[in-house]
Every structure is written in C-alpha cells, then in structure tokens.
Amino acid sequence: VDRPYNGQQESDLLVDHTGLAAMSGIRAILSQYFACEECTRHFIEDYDKCLHGRCVGGDAPSREETVMWLWRFHNAVNSRVFASQRPGENSRATEWPSASQCSACVSTATGEYSEKVVYHWIVQTYLGDMLKDETLYTVPSPLRSIMLLLLSLIGIGGLVLYQLHQKQMTYNDRLGNRHLNDGLGWRLCMGVKNLLQYLKGCTATKQNISDFKGKRVGIDAMCWMHRGAIACCFELVSGRESDKFLTFFLRMIALLQGYDVTPVVVFDGCRMPGKAEEEKKRGESRATAAESAKAMIDAAGITQATQMTGEVRTKCMQAIRITNKMIRK
C-alpha cells in the first residue's frame, strides 16, 4: 500500500489517492496469499464488479469511502458464511458492530445502520487517542491521511479476513481435521501418539513472523506441499501435470525472506515403523477418495477445476497424495 508513494514529493500527495492504493493492496494480498481458493474467488469477483460501493469514489476514493467499502464487504461475508451454515435463519445478528457495541450506529426505529456514525465509531475504536486533537470532520494532512487510513483498515480488514477464513475452517472439518492451521503454514497430524506433545517445547505456534526476524526457522516441507497441492487437486486426481503446488511453496518462502527470516526446508526422511499402520490407513483413505472424486467428475462431465462443486473439490482434496516426482520438483 505504501509503495506508490515512495520517492514522491509531498506536493504529489495533495489529492488523497490512498484509498485506491489500499483497495488494490488488499486485492493483491488476498489473490496472492490467502489460503481459501473459494473465498479468494468470491472476493475478486465482488471487487471487480464494484460491489459494496467500491467504485463510489472513482479513481480517488477517500479514506471514509474506503473504510466503509471494507465494512460493507465484511458484513456481506458474515451474511454469506452464516447463510451457508444455517440456511433459512436470519443473518442480521452477524452484522458488525452490534447495537450493544455501538448503540448510536443502529437506528432503534428501522434497525438500519447510520454509515456516517459507523465510520466515526470505527475510526475512534481503532485509532482512539490518536484523534484527540481532531474533530470528527477534521481533514488531516496528506501524509497523516495515509497513516490513518492504513490503521483504520488494519482492524476492519482483519475481521474480513477472519470471516473469509471460516470457509477454510469448514474445509478442514470436512477433511477430518487432517490439517491444523498454526499461523505459518499447515501442520500435519503425524500419526505417532503423543509426538506433538513431546515436541511442544521446541515448536512455535501463534507467533508473528516478525518475531523470527534475523533467525533461521525449520519448515516442514510436506505441510506446505499438501497445502499447495490443494490448488491443483483436480489436476492431480485427473492425472494431469501441474506445478501449481510450487506456487504456494515459493510464495511462503518469499514471505519469510521478506521478513528477513531464513527458512530451512526439511523433507521427510525414511519411513517410521511407528507410523506404518497410520500410513496404511491414510493411503487407503486417499485411494478411496480418489476413486469417488473421479466418479463424480465423470458423472458431472467436469473438464476443468472451475467447474467443480464444493463436494467434488472436497473429495479431490481428500485424495491428495504427494509423490516423489512432486518432491523432486
């Protein structure tokens, strides 16, 4: 988001174009790094269609227009996720902020939001004392506007990503919790009883990447291989060549390097006798899922990944098998 302004004179910032830069930055981050393909597709489609008031400000949306677009998008995602999980129920209870959080934001007569009040509630909530010397309608300097815009977006943007992430968690449940999200990647349940508890003291979870700045970190390559393979699960089941799984892997490497973290990628070694039974069960489960996925693909006449339904995609994901050829790549 900051990149468009590097090297420019302050006079070039007299017109606040920061909203468009922020919107474009959010779109780029989601399209490149977000784990849930279905969530990303929905976001990009809605973004490109200018839904939720994204194009109201044209090429120069203001800070307020940008924040309110993201707020509307957040509530739309809330409703979409709720409707998919509880069809027929009223999704209004999922809208944010609730009347208990901001009583002035919601009209007691109509139950509708006052967007002007919502905007100032968001700014005051996430910036707090930073605005103590400004009135609600003070126009900040261009450079300060950039900072305030970004800070405003951090809070509400996090909520949007959280709601989008619920879709990915639904996939995890369908996969039988085969993968667990730990913030840096995906960690496989090893299949060796009490192994994770034994390693608990030397593994890091729920830490910010920046905490590892200047350090080396060990990466379980197979976790990232499995995660990346989700992007080409249709091709893998169909017996087609695809390098899409490498894209996720390389992006994660670049992400760590961008934080001055040196990744040390560790691949699986020899087979462990203690995992033999578990590996056998997993192999049989993957084979069964692959057969089911192929049958569903043939029955529906699916020829490309974009035609898959959620059920077919889930079966393809369950069938993912990392081959030696993929590892060599």
**Per-position b or e across 135-162, b if 16+ CB within 10 A of its CB:** eeeeeeebeebbebbbebbeebbebbbe
pLDDT tens digits, one per residue of 53-107: 888 877 778 888 888 999 999 888 888 888 888 888 888 888 888 888 888 998 8
Instruction: Answer yes or no: do 196 and 151 share one domain.
Output: no
Concatenated DSSP letters of 290-318: HHHHHHHHHHHT--SGGG--HHHHHHHHH
Q: Which CATH number do you get for residue 150? A: 1.20.120
Concatenated DSSP letters of 135-150: -TT----HHHHHHHHH
pLDDT tens digits, one per residue of 256-302: 888 899 999 888 766 777 777 878 888 898 999 999 999 999 998 99
Instruction: Answer yes or no: do 101 and 246 share one domain.
Output: no
Strand extents, DSSP E, the chain: 179-181, 186-188, 216-220, 262-266
Q: In terms of pTM, does the model score above 0.75?
A: no
Instruction: Answer yes or no: do 38 and 148 share one domain.
Output: yes
Instruction: Answer yes or no: do 38 and 187 share one domain.
Output: no
Of 206, 228, 227, 203, nearest to 217 (Cα)? 203
* Containing structural domain, residue 246: 176-328
Instruction: Answer yes or no: do 126 and 207 share one domain.
Output: no
Instruction: Answer yes or no: do 156 and 221 share one domain.
Output: no
Phi first, then psi, for residue 106 (nearest 5°) are -115, 130
Is the alpha carbon torsion for 263, 264, 269, 272 positive or negative? negative
